[in-house]
Every structure is written in C-alpha cells, then in structure tokens.
Amino acid sequence: MKLAACLGALAFAAAPAFAVEVDGRIDPSEWAGARHITDFEMVQPLNGEPARLRTEAWVLATPKGLAVAFRNQQPADVPRTTQRTRRDEGGALDRVNFMVDFDGDGRTGYDFMVTVGNGISDEVITSERNFNTDWDGHWHHAVAQDADSWSVEMLIPWHVAPMAKPADGQRTLGIYVDRVVGSTGERYGWPGISFQRPRFLSEFAKIQVPHYEQALLAVTPYVVGVSDIANGGTDFDAGADLFWKPNGQFQLSATLNPDFGQVESDDLVVNFGAVETFFGDKRPFFTENQGMFDVPFGAGNSRLLYTRRIGQFADVDAAVKLNGSLGQVRYGLLAATEDGDVGRDFFALRATRDFGAQDLGGMITRVDVPFVDREATVTSVDHLWSPTPAWNIRSQVVASSVRQGGARSDDSGFQIRADQELGEGWRQQAYLLHLGDELQLNDIGFIDRNDFNYLRYELARRYPNQPEDSKYASHEWRWAASTRRNDSGVSIAEAAAIQRYSERRDGGNEFFDVAAWSSGHDDLITRGNGVVRVPEKLYAFWERARPRQGFLSWEASARVAGEGLEGASGAGLELEFEPTLHFSDSLSLELGVGVQHMPDWLLWRGGNRLGSYRADVATLGASLQWQIGHRQELRVKLETIALDARLRQAWAVRADGEPIATATPADITDFSLANLGFQVRYRYELAPLSDLYVVYGRGGLDQRDSGRSLADLFGDASSLADTEQLLVKLSYRFAN
C-alpha cells in the first residue's frame, strides 16, 4: 500500500464535533477538526499519478452521523454530465463515492454515491469487490455548483448499518473516497487502490474516530390496491415493515404480510436452457442490511442465500432478521414463513470472526417443506487468508443434507481461489471448484448446476499509460485456460480465452472476449437423461459503451457463437444497439434493438430427444425516464421479444452419448413465440423511504407450434394482454 494509505491509520484530531448543515456549501467552521484529504491519485486508469483536477474531501465523525464533504475543481473546458438519474441508475456521470467499512475488518462495506445532478446510489460491498445496489439506506446529501467547481455534503447516520462496539471509545473505520469525471472516465481516489484488483475492501485506509451510537425505531406500514383489468376484480392488502436498532451491536428487522406488488418489473427473458434465470431482489425487507448473508459459492451468480426463493410459490406471512455482534463475532439470523398448504419455512444463520490476516465465517440454512415432507439443510465454512499484501486466498466447504419421504441424500462441495499481485501490473489467479453430484442448494440458494469439477488459471496485466494521442486511456489483458469435468469423469470441455477491457478517453469503455472450447459432452441439456457428445465451440464477444455527448449516448455489442451439433461451422450472430436520447437533464428516452440468428440451435425435446433449429430472435424496447422535480418520477417501459424457430433435424441420444438423426416425431415441430412487457410507473417521494406508486402493467406470452415471421410476431405481441392491472401502493416510514 502506498504511503498515503498508511498515513490513513492516524487518528482524527480530538476536536469538538460541530453540527454540519447538509446544504452542499462547505463552511470551514463546520468542518473544523475534520480529516482533510487532498492527495488524490489516478486510479482509473490505474497509474498512481496525481489527480489531473484538484479534488478535496473531508471526513468528520459527529453525534448525528459520519459527515463527508467533497470539493471538485471542474472548469468550463471540462464538460459536466448534469443529467438527473433515478436511484441506483449509475452511468458515466460526474460523481463522488464515499465507501466505508464501519468495523474496519474488510468484511462488509457501504458505498454512498452522489452525482453532480444530485442523483444517488447506495451499495453494499462484500467479498472484496462485489457491489450490490439492491440495498437502499436512509442518509442525507446535497450538491452545490459554481463556475469552476462543484461540491457535495453527506451525512450518514450511525444507525444505517450494524457495527461492533469498540473497546476503547474509538472506532476504527476503513474508508475510501473517489471522484469520477464523466466526460473522460477518469477516477481519482484515496488511497490509491482499485476494485479492479483482487483486494479492494480490505485495503481501505484505516482511520480512528470517536465512537457514537444512534438508536432507531422505524415502522413502515403500507396499503396496496390492485385492479385486475384482464380477469376482473379488485384486491386490497396491507402490511408493515419494522426496523429497530437500540444500539450499534444489535438490530432487528421484521415484516408482516410483506407486499410483493410489482412496482419493480423484471426484464423479459426467454429461457429454454437447463439453468434457471437469476433475478435480483428489490423487496425492502430482503435488501435491508443483507450483506451479512451475501455468501457466494460457485461461479456466476451462485450463492447460499437467494432471497427470491422466499415467497416464490406462496405468500409470506411474516419474516424476521437479526444482525449484530457479540464481542469480535458478527452474526445474522433470518427466518421467514409462507402461508397456505404449500407454505415453507426458511431459516439462515451466519457468523464471522476477524483474526487479522485470517477471517473465518460459517453459515447454516434450513428449509422445511411440509406438504412434500422435505427438509433441506446446508452448512458452509469459509476462510480468507492474506499472508502478504500480494496474496489473497479464499476457501470454502459446503455440505447439503436433504431428507424427503424417508430417503436421505448428503453431499458436499468446495472451492479455492488464490490471487497474487506480481508487480508491474501483472497478476495471476487460480480457481478450483468441486460440486458433488448430490449437492443441493436451490431450496434457499442459487446454483446453476451440481456434479461439476472446474479448474481455471488466469494471467492478467494492466497497461495504464497509453500514448496521449491514443483513443484509449488504459488496457487490461487477460489470458485464461480451464478444464471442466463431472464427478463421473466425463469430460465436458477444455477451454482457452483471451479478454481485453479498455477505458477510453471519451469516458466510455470497450471489452472483447474470444474463447475456444474443445469437443466434449453436454451433461445438462437432457435434464438427467444422459450426456451428449458435442463438437468444438467458438465464441467471440465485443461490447462498447460511449457516454453522453450532446444529446446522445449509446451502447453496442456483437456476439458470435457456435454452440450446436455443427460446432464452429454452425456459428450464429447476435447484434444489439441501445441509444439513449437526452432531451434534457431530466428527460431521456432509451431505445433498444437486438437481432440474433442461430443456424444450429440445439434444444431438449423430452427424454433423450433433441431438436436442431434454425432460429431468428428480435427484441425491441424503449424506456422513457422523466425526473419531475426532486420528488417525482415517471417511467414508461416497453419490451417485446419475437422468436421464430424452424426444425432442421430431430435427434435421439444413444447410451454412449452419440446423437443419432431420426425421423421427425409428430410432437417435435417448428415453434414461435411473442412476448410483451409494458409498464407505466409514477412515483412520488413523500419522505425518505416513503413513497406513493401508481403502476399500470400489461404483458403476455403467445407460443405456438408453428413458424411465424418476426414481423407477424411483433404485430401479435402488441395485442397481448394475458395480464393487465393497475396498482396503487402507499408506504410511509415513521421513525424516531
């Protein structure tokens, strides 16, 4: 760590804490005694040079919360990206971030972001550099501008997160502050660390502040009315969320009859694969201080607790969540129960302990499903070891035990991930994953598959200093090789990949990925009816994002993949383009069009039968976003998908995995589908975390055993109304 980060261990001056008025205007008398940070350096691109534009930050502990201020030099010749955004929208904007680890142990951090247009985002940081925007905290912020600079003030109450009680009246925080210049993509940070490296959260600068605590009791009742236009009838419901934090070491969240009304719409997805689609959770109870339970295991989105399982098939009667600390041990407990004959009971217990260079954590989950006489228990132990600043080694062991109808199934899995910084921009990573063939996590977790062994090695290097006349500011190259097998020793594939992530001087970015897979076997596609021999695969992907210039910003991507029985010779092409028209700083229209041609699309058709299809897919979308003042928001969102699949060949899979062409059975045919999702959502913010929503939604799916042109499918989609409803929801947070 650089010298500036080491100096962060110095304590705050023991000056009296004056009240800070959060108005965006930095009054020197208010910030007397604050830690003043001026030595920002370039962290994007990550070259450690001094910040090009002067940036200052102040951090001050007060009885009412942790106060933070930024003053950002930005003369007229550096354009300001002043468009207003909805909460957690993000984008290539002028913004500042204050990130804090309240316990200073590198386990959980919180990111508070404010844009020059006074838009905000808040995120929970876990596993060193995993950012999750699902959480919404209650904190205060303001922005002020003048001709040559702009400034931000924040006040983060002490009740915003659980935190351990210090022994000596002084709290050790881990902090990181940065500022992003939207028009160039430059990021200036202190200390000089980056989430592009394996270690980020644990590298926050350590500072000491006086220990303060705040108690909070908040009750958020809600009422909701739904008019079912498609089927007739109107329903009304009511419930409440409770949050109680008597001190920093304990907090309780509870919910009675929680509302799962669709004020947040999921993106449309058409999925014919063997792996389910992962969706994030925006339900307030399940996002409030959820970082303790965010325990990844496996690749991608896999994790031990996937809260979308709760309430998936039945209404939730009640749920409770405890977070706190006992000495040096932090803990979390979650329990929920569903209503009705198919209702389930969910339990999760998590505990962690920091031992300096080593962290230890454990988690137990249990799901009781009485109507099928099923009990599923998962136990996990995770360990983090950082023997030197260059090494970061994570290991985890997971075991599942499922009892159903008198039968019992037990299995286990483990993973090891080792990262090493080699110096001069080089780093390497080795990753080993084993998932037993009877390992079952999906009663309350999410895992895309079991019966899997995976070994991957990656070597990477950053090139942060590109020539001044280059369109690129930096590159990071990655080279990887991997092997995949199931527990029976069947080879799934060996693969090699080359990736490059680039930051551009226009504030945008660019990414490409080229990979080749050897011939092998697909052991998922038949859903347990044998493995299928498959030829080699080729994959290439390119993506480019350019931030707003004038009235336009855009993203584009291209993908080439050969994934069927013809291998690389049957490669398909997918193109997407998403321009956004900025009519003003508060009104924008995002458009999206995508086309995909798959000449050799392989699908399961039941048992050991497969079908190869020539398929065409098109997507059209539009999203109008209007920020009406500082309290109102109108969003109109339209998504349509059209898919036309024409059967080329039916196959039967032999016992040895060889697919054999067969005559076409009567039940394997061409097919097509049209899908529509449309929502108009109005939101009025009555007070922090208190809202009135009026939402109109309409959607439908039309799938037929016949081919149809894409034009006809889009015409059919416009008339779909399988579901159509008007929802009004009012929630108001009462707090001390």
- For the stretch 178-203, pLDDT in tens is 999 998 999 999 999 999 888 899 99
For residue 17, what pLDDT is reported?
46
For residue 82, what pLDDT is reported?
86
The answer to the question of residue 666 being in a domain is yes
The answer to whether 65 touches 163, Cβ cutoff 8 Å, is no
Counting every residue written for the chain, the total comes to 736
Angle (nearest 5°) at CA 136 between 131 and 141: 100
pLDDT band at 327 (very low <50, low <70, confident <90, very high): confident
- Does the structure show a pLDDT above 70 at 6? no
Please compute the mean of the pLDDT values over residues 99-127 and round it to a whole number.
Answer: 92
**Cβ-based neighbour number of residue 408 at 10 Å:** 10
- Does the structure show a pLDDT above 70 at 9? no
Full residue range of the structural domain in which residue 697 is found: 546-736
The answer to the question of residue 149 being in a domain is yes
Per residue, the 3-state secondary structure of 536-603, as one string, reads CEEEEEEEEEEEEECCEEEEEEEEEEECCCCHHHHCEEEEEEEEEEECCCCEEEEEEEEEEEEEEEEE
The number of helix segments (H) and strand segments (E) in the chain equals 3, 41
The answer to the question of residue 659 being in a domain is yes
- Does the structure show a pLDDT above 60 at 90? yes
- Does the structure show a pLDDT above 70 at 505? yes
- Does the structure show a pLDDT above 60 at 711? yes
From the list 692, 688, 525, the residue with the least C-alpha distance to 606 is 525
How far apart CA 310 and CA 314 sit, in angstroms, is 8
Q: Is 0.85 topped by the overall pTM?
A: yes
How far apart CA 346 and CA 314 sit, in angstroms, is 13
pLDDT tens figures, 548-579: 888 999 999 999 999 899 988 899 999 999 99
From the list 147, 153, 142, the residue with the least C-alpha distance to 80 is 147
The answer to whether 509 touches 474, Cβ cutoff 8 Å, is no
From the list 137, 112, 161, the residue with the least C-alpha distance to 332 is 161
- Does the structure show a pLDDT above 70 at 689? yes
Higher pLDDT, 397 or 138: 397
Please compute the mean of the pLDDT values over residues 295-321 and round it to a whole number.
Answer: 91
Please name the helix (run of DSSP H) or strand (run of DSSP E) that holds residue 698, with its range, or none.
strand 690-704
**Cβ-based neighbour number of residue 192 at 10 Å:** 22
Q: What are the φ/ψ torsions at residue 4 (nearest 5 degrees)?
A: -60, -40
- Does the structure show a pLDDT above 50 at 215? yes
pLDDT tens figures, 439-456: 999 999 999 999 999 999
The number of domains in the chain is 2
For residue 162, what pLDDT is reported?
84
What stretches of 436-536 adopt beta strand conformation (E)? 452-463, 472-485, 491-504, 509-517, 520-522, 532-534
The answer to whether 570 touches 560, Cβ cutoff 8 Å, is no
- 531 is written with which tokens? 């493995």
For residue 133, what pLDDT is reported?
85
Q: DSSP code of 158?
A: G
pLDDT tens figures, 141-179: 999 999 999 999 999 999 998 888 887 889 999 999 999
For residue 8, what pLDDT is reported?
41
- 41 is written with which tokens? 């350096």
The answer to the question of residue 302 being in a domain is no
Please compute the mean of the pLDDT values over residues 270-291 and round it to a whole number.
Answer: 85
For residue 262, what pLDDT is reported?
61
Q: Which value, to the nearest 10 degrees, does the dihedral of the CA atoms of residues 300, 306, 312, 313 take?
A: 100
Residue 306 identity (one-letter amino acid): Y
The answer to the question of residue 366 being in a domain is no
- Does the structure show a pLDDT above 90 at 127? no
pLDDT band at 259 (very low <50, low <70, confident <90, very high): low
pLDDT tens figures, 464-494: 989 989 999 999 999 999 999 999 999 999 9
The answer to the question of residue 376 being in a domain is no
How far apart CA 703 and CA 299 sit, in angstroms, is 32
Question: Percent of the chain at pLDDT above 70?
Answer: 97
- Does the structure show a pLDDT above 70 at 245? yes
CATH code of the domain covering residue 12: 2.60.40.1190
How far apart CA 30 and CA 161 sit, in angstroms, is 25
For residue 625, what pLDDT is reported?
94
Mean pLDDT taken over the chain: 92
pLDDT band at 7 (very low <50, low <70, confident <90, very high): very low
How far apart CA 220 and CA 256 sit, in angstroms, is 11
Per residue, the 3-state secondary structure of 285-318, as one string, reads HHHCCCHHHCCECCCCCCECCCHHHCCCCCCEEE
Q: What is the DSSP string of 165-178?
A: PPSSSEEEEEEEEE
- Does the structure show a pLDDT above 90 at 89? no
- Does the structure show a pLDDT above 80 at 16? no
How far apart CA 235 and CA 245 sit, in angstroms, is 34
Please compute the mean of the pLDDT values over residues 427-433 and round it to a whole number.
Answer: 97
Q: Which of 212, 247, 265 is the last residue of a domain?
A: 212
pLDDT band at 432 (very low <50, low <70, confident <90, very high): very high
How far apart CA 650 and CA 479 sit, in angstroms, is 38
The answer to the question of residue 137 being in a domain is yes
Q: Which of 159, 184, 212 is the last residue of a domain?
A: 212
For residue 265, what pLDDT is reported?
75
pLDDT band at 218 (very low <50, low <70, confident <90, very high): very high
**Cβ-based neighbour number of residue 143 at 10 Å:** 21
For residue 260, what pLDDT is reported?
60
How far apart CA 383 and CA 393 sit, in angstroms, is 8
Q: Which of 212, 241, 256 is the last residue of a domain?
A: 212
For residue 86, what pLDDT is reported?
84
- Does the structure show a pLDDT above 50 at 12? no
How far apart CA 570 and CA 249 sit, in angstroms, is 59
For residue 18, what pLDDT is reported?
54
Higher pLDDT, 458 or 138: 458
Angle (nearest 5°) at CA 583 between 577 and 589: 40
The answer to the question of residue 521 being in a domain is no
